[in-house]
Structure 1
Amino acid sequence: MSIKLREHIEEITPISDSEFEYVLSHFKVKKLKKHQFLIQNGNLVKDDHFVVNGLLKAYYTNDEGKEHILQFAKEDWWITDYQAYFKKIKATTNIDCLEDCEVLCLSLHNRDKLCAELQKIEHFFRVKSNFGYIALQRRILSLLDQDAKGRYEELVSLYPSLLQRVPKTILASYLGVSRETLSRLS
């Protein structure tokens, strides 16, 4: 489990054994079962989560009960309700497990501490945040500018492994189409 986190960090910045052990000591391990919530709307969000194993989805449910999927998170991805995490407010999204999951949890206090103490880790999180902004912008533009076929083709191109791991009804919701439309596209 720790090897995955180290490899993930070292995609951006090298880190010594002692630095990594120190970083790892600020995380806690959490194991969840399929369909279990990692974060629930209305609860405080204490941690950001690095996915070691499994697959999660983050979604918002509107006043009419319609579910809007914001993102998926698979191995080597990070997930939380970032607004709630950074602003220390209650979650507006839900995050639940599509598979059994194991995540490494990092509190905001520990993140800030690591970033203050280790420039390498501050650099790592800055780069990861920038990549997150890019992905979010790409997703918003896709929803605004592409038709269903274009959104589906982009999903297949960027994340082909999700097609085997995510149920079709959930993929359809992510793409903003009906299950029937997704069947015609795939």
Structure 2
Amino acid sequence: MEKLRKHIEEITAITDEDFEAVKPFFTIRKVLKHQYLIQQGDEAKYEYLILSGIFRVFYLDEDGKEHIVQFATENWWMSDYIAYFNQKKANMYVLCMEPGEVLSLTLEGREKLATILPQMEHFFRVKLTNGYMALQARIVSLLSSNPQQRYEEFAELYPDLIQKIPKKYIAEYLGVSRETLSRLYTAP
């Protein structure tokens, strides 16, 4: 739980007493490689804070083609947020790519924490705002950048992921073929 406290304190101060009140809302879970946290049709009961490991959030289109929405690693949050916030069935999958640990938080727990501790409401608002900005930047990049530019942005933003994630998935995330990524990856 020390990682959770450090994560919260990156945004807002929290007393020992308040952190003791926060801890019961989170459940730690070990996750194996290739294990799903969420699958299409599941209830999206949890939002996850990653303590370790690498995950990918994706959906499958009608033809069974995978579309990666997000990679997530330490200190990142993930879920099928449309399903989570609306308490509906998931359309997304969340899959563990490398063994890890996550902290899970229910929507009810999130709302209660935000109500009883103003600094947690501030924390969640900042995290949600940052996530929204990152998503908007990703959409703009997909709409306005060529494959080379998208690859360079990804490599600059996530240099550690370039080495850890199979190229097939990076290509899917960037919206290019595996062959195109191979040319970009070896380009001078």
How much is the aligned-residue C-alpha RMSD, in angstroms?
A: 0.7
Please name the residue that 2:171 is paired with: 172
TM-score, normalisation: structure 2: 0.97
Q: Which runs of 5+ in 1 are unaligned?
A: none
Shift, 1:29, TM fit: 1.0
* SS at 1:44 equivalent: coil
* TM alignment of 1:16-165, pairs within 5 A: 16-165=15-164
Counterpart code for 2:7: H
Shift, 1:91, TM fit: 0.2
Please name the residue that 1:15 is paired with: 14
Counterpart code for 2:137: R
Q: Deviations over 1:4-49 (max 9, x none)?
A: 1111111110111111121111101111100000100011011100
* SS at 2:98 equivalent: coil
Counterpart code for 2:176: V
Q: Which runs of 5+ in 2 are unaligned?
A: none
* SS at 1:96 equivalent: strand
Please identify runs of 4+ aligned residues in structure 1 that moved more than 2 A.
Answer: none
Counterpart Cα distance in 1 of 2:72 and 2:43 = 20
Q: Deviations over 1:103-142 (max 9, x none)?
A: 0000011111100000000000000000011000000001
User: Between the two proteins, what is the percent identity of the paired residues?
Assistant: 52
Number of residue pairs the alignment of both structures matches: 185
Shift, 1:101, TM fit: 1.6
Shift, 1:179, TM fit: 1.2
Counterpart code for 1:127: V
Counterpart code for 1:113: K
TM-score, normalisation: structure 1: 0.98
